[in-house]
Amino acid sequence: MKRRKFLKRSGALTTGLATVPLAAMPLSSQSLPNSLPSGDDPVRPIVICTWDFGNATAKAWEVLANDGNALDAVEQGVMIEEADEDNQTVGMGGRPDRDGRVSLDACIMDAKGNCGAVLAMENIVHPISVARAVMERTPHVMLAGKGAERFGYELGFKKTDLLTKKSKKEWVEWQKTAQYKPVINIENHDTIGMLAIDATGDISGACTTSGMAYKMAGRVGDSPIIGAGLFVDNEVGAATATGVGEEVVRTVGSFLIVELMRQGKSPQEACEEGVRRILKKNDDKADFQIGFIAINKKGDTGSYCIHPGFSYRSYTKEGHRNTPSDSYIKV
Ligand code: SD4
């Protein structure tokens, strides 16, 4: 997109992020070290997501490249994984709780700070769309369990058995020992958190998961909790998480990372500090996996995890790539 058209679209000519000298900016913008220096072209549109979800980022990119907005991009992007029954940690085909029920968590957040979430919802393939409807059509932010499910049916979603043969077979096998010991990068990987900046510079994010395999019935992780599994601040950037949700909730991980970026850290530095805070609360005992990804307003990205094996996928007009994440524990 031509720079002038982009500036006009983003409102930058009037609000000034990219063009007005710092001294002329309103106070709230001045206090942002990540404000775009004039003449420094931001990377946009851009989409990134946890893990190597090429199809999901390609879908989000399709939306962004056709002048779609970031909110539609992240919703439609993560829906690819929700519908993919081979992905056993999101949506259809997700691994069940220890009672054999697939219960889904999801949240979404837009550039205005609006957000919606569904918690421990069953029988609906696209929790992200129900979460978006919670945000857009109700006075609430979160709906849980049966209430969320009922709302989904009111929206027109069909009741669907989400437990596939493969996930059921594994669950039956698991019951022989019934040991709850999540295997790093194996049993719990693949939650999708997606962050996008559209051509106008607006940021949105989405996060969706079936949660930890064989969790207690009713257990909710970080993924649908705004601030923990996902946070977006349109002035600063966004972050999202994957891994053992309890640990992310304890540090309000994604909010922390966005606030660290507000204070001047790069997305990479902020993700590293996010992981460090979690490790500190665990006396540096790193026997679980956490992965964070983050993006700032400029389109700089970063990621960090505890154990090697995590990566994130990005898509810009330069193309798409899977970037292995640096980790606290080295190979
Ligand atoms: C949870 N954070 O429910 C999710 C699980 C996850 O990749 O991210 N897996 O705790």
Using only C-alpha atoms, what is the Rg of the chain? 19
- CA distances for 314 relative to 56, 103, 269, 270, 322, angstroms: 10, 28, 18, 18, 7
> What's the rounded Cα separation, in Å, for the pair 132 and 138?
10
Is the CB–ligand 1 distance for residue 242 below 6 Å?
Answer: yes
pLDDT classification of 29: cutoffs 50, 70, 90: very low
50 CA: nearest ligand 1 atom: 7
Is the distance from CB of 276 to CB of 329 less than 8 angstroms? no
Q: 218-252: per-residue pLDDT in tens?
A: 999 999 999 999 999 999 999 999 999 999 999 99
Q: What are phi and psi of 267, to 5 degrees?
A: -55, -40
Q: 134-156: per-residue pLDDT in tens?
A: 999 999 999 999 999 999 999 99
Probe ligand 1: pick from 82, 190, 223, max atoms within 8 Å of CB? 223
Which range is least confidently modeled, 13-27, 251-265, 298-312? Answer: 13-27
Q: 75-114: per-residue pLDDT in tens?
A: 999 999 999 999 999 999 999 999 999 999 999 999 999 9
Is the distance from CB of 127 to CB of 91 less than 8 angstroms? yes
Q: 105-134: per-residue pLDDT in tens?
A: 999 999 999 999 999 999 999 999 999 999
- Nearest of 273, 319, 321, 270 to residue 297 by alpha carbon: 270
Q: What are phi and psi of 197, to 5 degrees?
A: -120, 125
Distance 245 CA to ligand 1 centre (A): 5
Per-residue model confidence (pLDDT) at position 331: 78
Q: Are strands 311-316 and 46-50 parallel, antiparallel or unpaired?
A: antiparallel
pLDDT classification of 284: cutoffs 50, 70, 90: confident
Q: Is it the case that residue 316 has pLDDT exceeding 60?
A: yes
Count Cβ atoms below 10 Å from residue 156 Cβ, excluding itself.
8
Q: 30-61: per-residue pLDDT in tens?
A: 333 333 444 478 999 999 999 999 999 999 99
- CA distances for 59 relative to 69, 81, 95, 235, 238, angstroms: 13, 11, 24, 25, 20
Count Cβ atoms below 10 Å from residue 114 Cβ, excluding itself.
15
Q: For 244, left (φ over 0), alpha (ψ -120 to 50), or beta?
A: beta
Q: 171-211: per-residue pLDDT in tens?
A: 999 999 888 776 655 555 689 999 999 999 999 999 999 99
Is the CB–ligand 1 distance for residue 123 below 6 Å?
Answer: no
Reported pTM: 0.87
pLDDT classification of 319: cutoffs 50, 70, 90: very high
39 in helix, strand or coil?
Answer: coil
Mean pLDDT of 5-24: 29
Is the CB–ligand 1 distance for residue 251 below 6 Å?
Answer: no
Per-residue model confidence (pLDDT) at position 180: 78
14 in helix, strand or coil?
Answer: helix
Residue 15 designated active-site? no
Burial class (CB in 10 A: 0-12, 13-18, 19+), 193: buried
Per-residue model confidence (pLDDT) at position 184: 58
